[in-house]
Every structure is written in C-alpha cells, then in structure tokens.
Structure 1
Amino acid sequence: MDRRTELRDFLRSRRARVSPSAAGLRAYGSRRRVPGLRREELAQLAGVSVDYYVRLEQGRGGKVSAEILDSVATALRLDEIERQHLHALVHSSGGPRSAAESPHTAGAGLGSVHGRREQQVRPGLQRVLDTLEHSPAYVVGRRLQILAWNHLARVLIADFPRMPEEDRNLARLTFLDTTARRRYVDWQKKADDTVAFLRVDVGRHPYDAELTALIAELSATSEDFRRMWADHTVRDETHGAKPLHHPRVGALDLTFETFRIPDDPDQALTVYTAEPGSPAAAALKRLAEDERPEEWQ
C-alpha cells in the first residue's frame, strides 16, 4: 500500500466534505474548481503555510508534530478514529516494520507461515468463546481474518471449519460470499463498516503486503467494494445493532459488542446478543441446541 497515495487521497476526501461556509470562511466567486476547502483555505484554518500543507498532503512533510496534525484534523472536523488514522498515515514513513509487512511476502497465502508470525488465539480466549453457548462470537485479527469462533457463529455466519483458511475472512465473506446479502439483514451497513475498518487497518499497517493483496482482490471482483473503498471512510465501531437472518428461524434482532484483546490490539472479540426473553433470544437457544450448519448451508 502506497502511504503517500493513501495520505493524499484521505486528506483530499476530507477537504471535500467541509464547505468554506461551514468552516466560517467567506467564499469568493461563484465557481470553484474543487468541492469543499481549497488547500490554502485549510492551511489558513490550521495555522500553517500553504507550501507546508501542500508538502504534508503529498507525503513530503518530513517529521510533523502532533500539534500540527491535530490542527489539521480540527480544521477538517475529523472524529477521533479519523484523527488517529491521519496520525498513523503521517507517522508510518519508516518502511515495513516486520516480516509480516515486507513486500517479499506478497506471494504468500494468508495461511502461510513463511516469512511472518501467525496470529494465535490463546486457549483461554477460545474457552471464553465456547462458554457463550447462546451468543454467536468470534475473534478477528489483521485484515479481518477470522481466527476463532464458537458454534453459534458457525451456524449463523459461516461454516468456518469447512473453509480454506484464506477464505475465513469477514471482508471476503461480506463481498464475495453469495449468501452474505441474505445473512446480514442490513447488508449495506455491514459492507460500509467492513470497508471502513479495512481503512483503519491500512493506517495501522500500510506496508502489509497481504492486506494490499486482499484489497486488490476485492477491488477487482466487487464493484460494491470498489465504490465504497473510493470514499476513504474510516470507522471502528465497537457496538450497535446487527440483525441477522437464518433460513430456519428468520430475522434475528441482535446487537453486538466488540472488545480489543489487551495483549494483541490487532485481535478483537465480537459477541452478538439478544434481549433476554425476546423472540431472538429464544431462536438463538433453539439454534444452539438443535441446529447444525450442514443442515442448511
């Protein structure tokens, strides 16, 4: 992933969202060549010279202080996740940090152990998953790779044990699996969230060759992904509604909570729950006790 291109396109997309009037600036002339703020307008708001901002947007700003980046972020009205993404893109100019991010691993499959250390889920965390008998739960790692799951996640989302390891990926499932649009009641929201989180991952690991290959694959095979990726949306939601659908019990009104794993922030545990006593809770109990993935997939 080219860090300078990512930084340039991200800042341009954020400038396009902010109108001069919304930023408290007077707009001169009725015709503007660019939507949103011009570079010189943003530089004025951020308190830097136009030349300095141009070099920053082009990835030629050298060492940039946190104060200047925060000023730019404030002028662009970035939320906290977008602000962190900007800092990550600017400060990731040191090149690949590990074998996992080396260009020489570009040809390796996601299941390969050559040239990088595999992410591992601790046995204790797997036991936590298994104790959640009436709540679908799974752990994702880098690139939205699914590392562990419990029985209900296998029933409701995908039959992970039967998949090749490289296909156990939430982005591939969302955009390339033909059943995903039926599985996720609000598929558009799921797809938007998936793309937005991959952008977060790019900011954290811009030199990850396997992440670059995944994005290239999705861009080549999914028009929806290609369109959403061009928006440069950055988001990392930790809770919310997640209605699912199962062919046996129909719609399930669920919510989700996502927790970062303290000793590996690149791993996250997601748990779906239903309101106690609700039809969805009763349906989850039925599926946990009676259903097997091979009976309906």
Structure 2
Amino acid sequence: MIRKVCVIGWPIAHSRSPLIHNYWIKLHGIEDAVYERLAVRPEDLNETLRSLGDWGFIGANVTVPHKEAVFAALMRHDAVAARLKAVNTVVTTAQGLEGRNTDGYGFIANLKDRARFWRAADGPAVLVGAGGAARAVAAALETEGAPEIRIVNRTHARAVALAADLKLKAARVFDWDEMGEALAGANLLVNTTTLGMKGERDLDIDLAPLPEAALVTDIVYTPLETGLLKLARVRGNPVVDGLGMLLHQAVPGFEAWFGLRPRVTAELRALVLADMGIFEGN
C-alpha cells in the first residue's frame, strides 16, 4: 500500500514541496511513498480533510490560503500551531489528525545553517510586517531568546494586535516613519512582507541606522536576492536568503510521516534552485 502525502493549497501548481519531499523519499529508498499536490478550493477544504485517510493520505502540508482554516477545522494541535492559530503540517496520529506549524522552526534553522555566527540572544530583532509570516517568525525568535522584538508595520493597530495575541514578553511596536529608531542597535532585520517578491515593488528603507554586523534576511525567495538583501550585502551586512526557510520547515513533517529525519543539503538546495532557473556559482 502506497503511503501518500500531499500539499494542500489554492492555487497549488507553484508549490515546490513535492520536489523536496520526493527527493528525500528517493534518497532514503522509501519505495512505498509518494508526495503529491492537491488543489483544494476553500469551500472544499473541510470535506478534503475528512477524506484524507480514505484517499490513502497519511499526512499533508498546508499552504496559502488554508493555514488558518485548517487550524480551525482540526480538533488537535501542537503547542506552536495553537499559539499561531495556523497549521502548515498535518500528521495522522492514533487520536486522529493533528495540526502542527513548522514555519518558525524553518526560519530559525535557516539562519543557523547559513549564518552560524548568529545568536538570537545577542540583540534586538526587527520585523517588518505583521501578517501570518511575521507571527511565526516573532514567536520563533522569542523562543530562541531574542531580548526584544521590534515590529514595524504600516498599520499600527495590526502590529499591536500581533504582539498582544502572541503575548510577546518583550515586543515594541514602531510606526513606519520610526524605522530608523527601530533599526538602531538591532542584531537582526527580517522582511516578513511580500515586498521584494517577483512582481512586487522592493522594500525601500534606509539601512543607515542598522549596525553593519546585523544579519539581514528575507522570507521571500523569488528572486533569491531581493532588493533588500542586495542593499544590505553591498553595505557590508551579512545576509541570508529565504529559500532555506522553505527547505528546513519541511524536515519535521517528513520525520513525522516516515520516521526518518532528512537533512537539508547543498544538493537539495541546488535541485530547488535549478527548478527556479538559478545556478549558484555560475
């Protein structure tokens, strides 16, 4: 019997999760498994979740726009998903389907992998944006020991709501015109918005107040080097692109489904980049 896993979204054709997981399935010689895409309209989501087992699926990943809706539909969640009120990984347990969230894990693991000198506890972190990605990143940074999380967002009330809903112990909210104050003395700058993504305008901010030793990262990975990352690199800041977050967030789910903990390697990164038409070092 084939053990099937899928990624659920609408649309879903763009997802690279099948490329990642099927690479690991082949690498580990798991002959009775396959990972597929499953296009699910929002109005069909609940019926799809009820039917996963009948269709032979032992688990799933969840992408936009379903993360919050899957959280609401499931009765069981891990602690991270319960805090974020969003699910990106569904695991079959003896008690039924359980929703988990590995986005924050993927974010932190990417930084540790690509910038091994970096420590969250070394100084304040600045988050640009206050959407779903910002929630996952903020919670992960607090867990990792960041002494202060500075949230900069164009809508002040939304940033305040994020900090309150997550019960962040050391959060400060800054208005957009206070960006310079937020950047001063920071250890990390994270763009959690879609600004800089292919088809979107760049995140246009003055990095002058940011210490040159501060790490700059972006959750966007198309393009691999966003305008923000290029600006930071040129002025001398260490930078980490967003692709590793996608790769690392996949690790805990694969382990839960198949009992093997895969590794994010240079070969896997090159495989996904090639699918994007990017060949590093050329």
Structure 1 length as normaliser, TM-score? 0.25
Structure 2 length as normaliser, TM-score? 0.26
Higher RCO (C-alpha under 8 Å, 6+ residues apart): 1
| Higher Rg of the two aligned structures | 1
